[in-house]
Structure 1
């Protein structure tokens, strides 16, 4: 089982990253679930493990079963798995894909402190940048602290990004004292 999990990890990651980029994560999850269930069927599992069939033939069996249930991209993914003799890893790929999806769906709470209130446009751009940097959804809570002079302080979990003028002046002061 550990071997299948190891095999599944890069395939699940690649599928998830593609689905995330195409904004089709839920659809991919459903299609992978369908295909993984098909592969888990005893009759289909026997076909996949049959050494007298070529990898292409095994892939075609899965594609026939999945006809009308999967997109062209998932079909190509299954062909890739068949070509690499990895069809038996489909259930493990689905499990790993679900783990990645669950991790991504968790939103991170971000506290942003600024010297002045942020405009809607600034808040939207900041949300986009943080989502890209953190690799997950962000919920931003804003605070205004006029003593900062300018800039932002961003806190997300145990990560702190101090881009404030006050923070930069403090660093400069420490450097000059050293």
Structure 2
């Protein structure tokens, strides 16, 4: 939704500038948790209720953090609540991650596999993928049993597919051509 992306951009940029590179990983974790909560329609409905005050909404989100939030995060969350922008939090988290990745020259990569991949196996795969995509990658594994074997890696709009399913499709195309 373009409107939420437009609404979220100034919030993500302001938080990124205010963080000034310090603790951005922790802030990203909080944003991801807040985005998960804010994507729940029941939470949004309750937050918009006139019977629920600002402090109650803030305490709901603070409870997700399992501890005391830094002043920066509290102030950010307060601004989001005060301006009735909780629905934009998932998009704020995405845009904040993009800003962090741009600064670090990195990108998020989804590694689809038919089977679970251990951290050790992922670390063996990382240099090959980083060389292929020519940047540092933040890898996350997702299971897709339809691949049969191998992996399919998606970075933004780029894809690298070495799955058995893709190879079978290529063989099928070659045989029917």
Length-normalised TM-score, structure 1: 0.51
**In the alignment, what sits opposite 2:62?**
63
**In the alignment, what sits opposite 1:3?**
3
Structure 2: distance between partners of 1:69 and 1:36: 18
Structure 2: distance between partners of 1:22 and 1:99: 13
Change (3 A) 1:70 1:35: farther
Within 5 Å, which residues of 2 pair with 1:23-172? 23-68=22-67, 70-106=69-105
**In the alignment, what sits opposite 2:148?**
none
Structure 1: distance between partners of 2:5 and 2:65: 23
**In the alignment, what sits opposite 1:15?**
15
Between the two proteins, the alignment pairs up a number of residues equal to: 106
Does the Cα contact within 8 Å between 2:62 and 2:68 map onto a contact in 1?
Answer: no
Structure 2: distance between partners of 1:69 and 1:42: 25
Change (3 A) 1:69 1:89: farther
RMSD over aligned CA atoms reads 2.2
Q: What is the deviation of 1:45?
A: 2.6
Structure 1: distance between partners of 2:6 and 2:51: 26
Structure 1: segments with no counterpart, 5+ residues: 108-178
Structure 1: distance between partners of 2:104 and 2:78: 28
Structure 1: distance between partners of 2:31 and 2:87: 13
Structure 2: distance between partners of 1:33 and 1:79: 17
Structure 2: distance between partners of 1:12 and 1:56: 22
Structure 1: distance between partners of 2:17 and 2:28: 12
- 30-39 vs 45-54, greater mean Cα deviation: 45-54
Structure 2: distance between partners of 1:83 and 1:18: 19
Structure 2: segments with no counterpart, 5+ residues: 107-177
Change (3 A) 1:32 1:69: farther
